[in-house]
Structure 1
Amino acid sequence: MAVDQGRAGRPLTLTEQARRAQLIRVTIDLVAAHGYAGTSLARIAEAAEISKAAVLYHFPSKDAVVRAAYGTVIEQLTARVGGAVEPHTGAAALRAYIHSLIAYLRGSPAHARMIIEAISAESGVTDSPNAPSRWQSVAALIDGAKAAGDYRAEPASRITAVIINGAIDAVVAEQLADPGFDSARAAAAIVDLVDRALAVGR
Structure 2
Amino acid sequence: MQAGQVPTFTESARRTQIMNCAIEVLAESGYSGASLAEIARRAGISKSVVLYYFSGKDDLLASVVSDVYGRAGQAIAESLSRHVSPGDKIAAYVRTNLHFLEEHAAEIHAVVEIVSNARGADGTHSFAPQGEDPVLAHLEQLLRDGQDSGDFRTFDAHHLAIIIRSAIDTVSGRLVVDPSFDLAAYTRELLAVVELATVTHRTEDSS
| TM-score of the aligned structures, taking structure 2 as reference length | 0.86
Aligned-residue offset at 1:121: 1.4
Task: Report how many aligned residue pairs link the two structures.
Answer: 195
Q: Which moved more, 1:81-90 or 1:102-111?
A: 81-90
Deviation at 1:83, TM superposition (A): 1.1
| 2:18 alignment partner, one of 1, 15, 23 | 23
User: What is the Cα deviation at residue 134 of structure 1?
Assistant: 2.8
Question: What residue in structure 2 maps to residue 165 of structure 1?
Answer: 165
TM alignment of 1:51-70, pairs within 5 A:
51-70=46-65
After TM superposition, the structure 1 stretch with the greater mean CA deviation from structure 2, 38-47 or 27-36, is 27-36
Larger radius of gyration: 2
Which segments of 5 or more consecutive residues in structure 1 lack a partner in the other structure?
1-5
Aligned residue for 2:88, secondary structure, equals helix
| Residue 91 (structure 1) aligned with residue 87 (structure 2) | yes
Contact 1:63 / 1:123 at 8 angstroms: preserved in 2? no
Matches within 5 A, 1:11-160: 11-89=6-84, 90-122=86-118, 125-127=126-128, 132-153=133-154, 155-160=155-160
Instruction: Give ranges in structure 2 of 5+ residues lacking alignment.
Output: 121-125, 203-207
Runs ≥4 residues deviating over 3 A: none
Cα deviation 1:175-200 (Å, max 9, x = unaligned) = 22113311122122111112112211
Query: 1:173: Cα distance to partner?
Result: 2.0
CA–CA distance in 2 between the matches of 1:103 and 1:179? Answer: 16
Equivalent AA in structure 1 for residue 71 of structure 2: Q
Partner-residue secondary structure (3-state), 1:44? helix
The secondary structure found in structure 1 opposite 2:55 is: coil
Aligned to 1:3: none
TM-score by length of 1: 0.88
1:148, CA displacement in angstroms?
A: 2.7
Give RMSD over aligned pairs: 1.9
